[in-house]
Amino acid sequence: AQSVTQLDSHVSVSEGTPVLLRCNYSSSYSPSLFWYVQHPNKGLQLLLKYTSAATLVKGINGFEAEFKKSETSFHLTKPSAHMSDAAEYFCVVTLSYGQNFVFGPGTRLSVLP
């Protein structure tokens, strides 16, 4: 069965500094992996996805993530945080589209001025 671990429930960074949100997964098969962002009182928006193509995936708003099979990780990074990045971020794994997506518990990102 798949599972997703987000190692930090809350990350706080200063504006202009790098962001690292960690995600590890457990899956018996080659998974598809996603990062979603949820701003306060909003729905979830897709940031980026990995589906067995390039291991370094670029998403919207300057975010990117690298799939590392040996480490079973899919960490989300951004070189320079912006105030508008403050939100909840969810790492998601699924074996294939149309099947159940397994969500991590989320990481709340705070950006300090």
Partner 1 sequence: NAGVTQTPKFQVLKTGQSMTLQCAQDMNHNSMYWYRQDPGMGLRLIYYSASEGTTDKGEVPNGYNVSRLNKREFSLRLESAAPSQTSVYFCASSDVIYGYTFGSGTRLTVV
- In the complex, the residues that contact partner 1 under the rule CB under 8 A are 9, 32, 34, 36, 41-46, 49, 90, 92, 97-98, 100-101, 103-106
Phi, psi of 86 (to 5 degrees): -60, 120
- Tokens describing residue 52: 């067995």
Q: How far is the CB of 34 from partner 1 (least distance, A)?
A: 6
Closest approach of partner 1 to the CB of residue 16, in Å: 29
DSSP structure class, residue 40: T
* Count of residues making up the chain: 113
As a whole number of angstroms, the distance between CA 100 and CA 87 comes to: 24
Nearest to residue 72, comparing CAs of 91, 100, 53? 91
Task: Read off the DSSP letter of residue 3.
Answer: E
Query: Smaller CB distance to partner 1: residue 32 or 72?
Result: 32
Q: Which is nearer to partner 1, 7 or 101 (CB)?
A: 101
48 or 111, CB closer to partner 1? 48
| CB of 17 vs partner 1, minimal distance in Å | 26
